[in-house]
Each structure stands twice: as structure tokens, then as C-alpha cells.
Chains A and B, each alone.
Chain A
Amino acid sequence: MCLPVLLVVGQAHAQSEEALQLYQKLKQKIDQVHDYEADVSIKVNVHFIKMPLTPAKLYFKYPDKIRIVRQGGISVLPRKGISVTMNKVVPESDVTVLDAGTEKIGDKTLRILKVIPNQQVEDIVLSRIWVDEQQMLIRKAETTTRDNGTYTVMLEYGKYITQALPDRIKFVMDVKDFKLPKGVTMDYETAPAPPPDPNANAKRKYGSIEIYYRSYKVNAGVNDAVFTQH
């Protein structure tokens, strides 16, 4: 009677150990990058924001310094609490890692890991990461936060695959409609207003922000002053 239970518990423990080891290898690979300076383009796909593809420079310094610079320009980024860097997609402190099976995305079978921080890590309650075990890369992550809802991150790799630095990151998140009184904005209306949708409030709306990394300068040293300049 006890033996099947012990076998099941033992198997679960072994899987958990494997998952933790996979997670640690992944973390090790990501943490090889101590800093980088990247030329990026930011594309905002949100129904109420009209904005062209915008170039910028992104600076990162381990463990958590990040700055996006556009000379005189405006950047629209995922809200604070949603990290744009790889090392924050994979929480670094004491975590519990569980094996959540596999899923096929495209032509790749990916291992799903559930990562639960044992201590409070910023806002993160739970992360699910889809790992390409062969190349030791994160292809997708879904993070649930305490205050900022759930968001999904999709990653594509190219030239910098050996350093686990993506060519493209896409953040998908819930968005709410933007509203200001018409009497204040005095809009120029070019078409009659559409009839109100009775289900508008019930419908969940999503938006995405994509960051295309055109080039990186990796581990070349980034001055701390970059993160404090205005």
C-alpha cells in the first residue's frame, strides 16, 4: 500500500529536481551577460495608441539596471512591474520550480516550468516559462503579478542565440480603453461616432509591445551614469 505512494512521491520529487536543475542551467546561461547596450526599435500595438516604429537605445547592467534612451523622443513601454530584460523573466531569488509538462509551439516541443518565488520578488506571484531544452532558451513566459495582472512574453532569437539574447521580445498584456471628455479635447471628428457596444466593458482587450533588438554590444561595460542621467 505504501509502496505506490512512495513511488509517486519519489517520481514527483525527481521531476522537481530535474526542473530545478533545468531552471538553474537556464539562469546560469542568462547570467553570463553582465551588461549590454542594444539598438532597438519599439512597436506599440495597442488599439488606442497610434505611434510609428520608434528607434531607441537600451542599456542593461546586472542585476537589474535598465534604461531606454530616445534622444528627445517618447517611449511607450510595458508598465513598471513588467520587466523587459531576460534576467527578470527568470526570477533570481529563492524559488520553487515545478515541472508542468510540455507543449508544442511551432515545430518545437518545449518544457514548461512553473516558478514560484519563495520570497517576495518585486511583484511576481508566479511565472510559467516555456523552455527549449535543446538550445537552453526561454521561448515564452507567462507572469502573474500582484498588482499588474498577468502578461505574456514571447521571445525570438537570431544572431545572439548563444548568449540567450533575443532578436525580438513581444509583451502581451490586458489593456483598458483610454477616455478623456470630448469637451476638453475638442476632437476633430472625421466620421460619425460608432454606436456604443453594450458588451464593451465585458470584452477583455489586449495590447502588445514589441521590442526588436537590431544589435547588441555585450559585456563591453556600461557606465552607471547612463542609468541616472536625465
Chain B
Amino acid sequence: MMLALLRTELFKIFKRPRTFISFGLITAVILIIELALYVDGEKFLAFASQGLTAQFDIQGNILNGYLITFIILQTLLIHVPLLIALVCGDLLAGEANMGTLRLLLSKPVSRTKLVFTKLLAGWVYVFALLVWLAVAGLLTAILLFGKGDMMVLKSTEVVIIPMTDVAWRYVLAFGFASVAMCTIAALAMFLSVFGENAIGPIVTTMGIVVVLTILSTLEIPLFNTIKPYLFTTHMVGWKGFFDMPVNYGAIGFSLAVLLGYTALFVLATIWIFNRKDILS
């Protein structure tokens, strides 16, 4: 029964044109970034690495596919949550808006199972989006810029990873990013419980992500105390795989925080949905 329900939910998600807007937008952003870096990448890199090149002679293919993909991921993983909110915020509120929620609940499936099924469908969408990001981003970047050692510029250090040591890091990074985006999906779904219209949960999710990302990024002492507790602080944990050595303890902790928030949102969604009067 649940499998049939899952198939139906997946059909509903992937039937909508809005779902494919996300894939199209990601592709467009990737191509724009790659074009810009193809034309002006050397200048950008010279500017970013001037603190290094003033002191050392750096030789080799620095602007290669691995670095380009890192830049794309860094940019897009700020925007991908918004694309996830667009679909997952609609999962319950959209049904309420269309008046089909009552019909759905008349089936012999518990509300808890329904929530899980919709969430699973949302997560399949998240995973598909990230696979597309990986394929479109990494493959096109390598085709255009070639492979090479990966130079990661951090605020106070530079990490240079041999090209033979990069691929597994990307696999794990995308895996981590999937978990982080699943947290966003769970948040959007949670807010969707309250809405009779999809716009509210979508915009609210976007707003929460934007505000918390700003709080996580700003270097202000007042915010430093709350940063470790924000899920947006831990969403960049995928970057931890591009360090030497990899701090698996910190990444594991970030993963635990994200899973904790996901569990919290899911349990809250189930609890509220089970007690909600469905009037539409």
C-alpha cells in the first residue's frame, strides 16, 4: 500500500512543470558560472590567490574541473534549498489548496504513513536534484576545464589535494549535501502542515533558510554563541571532505545535528498533522 502511495506521490511531484524548473535553473546557473570562469577565470583566480602567488610560484592547471565544481557547489548549495522549498512546501499545503487532502485521508492509510510517504517522495526529488547537480556540474566542468589537483582556498589556509584523491571526496560531499537538503525538505514539509496554500510554507521556508544562513555566516560575536545550534551552520559540512586530514569527527557531529533537526521536523509534522482538523 505504501509503495503504491509513494508511486502516486512521485507521479504528482514529477508531473508538475514547476519541478523541472529546478532542474532547468540548476543547469542554467552551472552553465553561466562555467562560461564566466572559462572567459575570466584566470583573473578571478589571480585575485583570490594573490596572497599566495605573491610569496610562491604556483605552477600547474589550477583552474580545472574539480575547482570549478567546488565553486559551483558553494554557490548553488545556497540556492538549492530554495528550489527544494518550492516543491516540498507544496506537499501538504498544495493538497489542502486543491481540496484533495480529505479525499487522500479517506484512504485506508494512517496520517503518519501519509506524512512519511510524502516526505520520502520529497527526499527522492532532493536526491534526483543533487544527482543532476553532480552530473551536470562535475561532468561538464571536467569536460571544459580538464582534471588536475584541487586547490581549496579557505580564509586562512590553502589546501591542495592531488587529483587522484578527489573523486571519493566528491561522492561523500554530495552524500552529505543530500542529507542537508533532506533537512530543508523536512522543514518545508513541517511548515506545509500549517498552510492552506503552498505560497506561505514556500516563502517561510525560504525566509528561515536565508535568515539563518546570514546568522551562520556573519562573524559577529553576538551570533557566535548560537551558530553551533543552527542547522544552516552545519549544512556546509560537505566542505569538510576537502580538507587534509578530513575531520570526520566534526563532519559526523554536523551530520548528527542535521539528522536531529530532520527527526524533529518529521516528528513535529506527524504530531501536528495527526491532531489537525482537515476542513478542505
List A residues at the B interface (Cβ < 8 Å).
46, 48-52, 54, 68, 70, 72-80, 173, 175-188, 190-192, 209
Q: How distant is A124 from chain B, measured CB to nearest CB, in Å?
A: 17
Given A74-B149, A179-B155, check contact A187 B61 (CB 8 Å).
Answer: no
Chain B interface size, as a band, is 35 or more
Interface centre among A184, A185, A188 (most CB of B within 10 A): A188
Question: Does B89 have its Cβ within 8 Å of any Cβ on chain A?
Answer: no
Nearest A residue to B147 by beta-carbon distance? A72
| B239: interface (CB < 8 Å) | yes
- Bound CA span A206–B37, Å: 34
Closest 9 CB pairs of A and B: A190-B250, A74-B60, A188-B239, A74-B149, A51-B160, A77-B57, A48-B157, A72-B148, A50-B159
Instruction: Decide: B160 and A49 in contact? CB cutoff 8 A.
Output: yes
Chain B nearest CB from A35 CB (Å) reads 20
A50 with B243: CB separation less than 8 A = yes
Q: Which residues of B contact A (CB under 8 A)?
A: 48, 51-52, 54-62, 64, 74, 146-149, 151, 153-160, 162-163, 217-219, 224, 236-240, 243-244, 247, 249-250, 254
Q: Which of A68, A176, A177, A188 contacts B59 (CB 8 A)?
A: A68
* Bound form: Cα–Cα A72–B147 in Å: 7
Q: Are B56 and A182 neighbours in the complex by a CB distance under 8 Å?
A: no
For B154, what are the chain A residues with a Cβ–Cβ distance below 8 Å?
A: 180, 185, 187
CA distance A168 to B72 in the complex (A): 40
Q: Which of B56, B147, B247 lies at the interface centre, i.e. has the most chain A CB atoms within 10 A of its CB?
A: B56
Q: Is there an interface contact between B219 and A76, defined as CB atoms closer than 8 Å?
A: no
Residues of A within 8 A of B237 (CB): 188
Q: Is the CB of A179 within 8 A of B156?
A: yes
Q: Are the C-beta atoms of A180 and B148 separated by less than 8 Å? A: no
B247 touches A186 (CB 8 A): no
**Which interface residue of B48, B55, B147 has the most chain A CB atoms within 10 A?**
B55
Residues of A contacting B62 in the complex (Cβ-Cβ under 8 angstroms) = 74
Does A74 contact B148, Cβ atoms closer than 8 Å?
yes
Whole-angstrom distance between the alpha carbons of A79 and B58 in the complex?
A: 8
Contact partner of A50 among B160, B219, B236, CB < 8 A?
B160
Q: A180-B153, A186-B74 are known contacts. Are A73 and B243 too (CB-CB below 8 A)?
A: no
Q: Which residue of B lies closest to A174 (CB)?
A: B55
Q: List, in ascending order, chain A residues with CB within 8 A of B224's CB.
A: 192
A192 to B233, CA, bound (A): 13
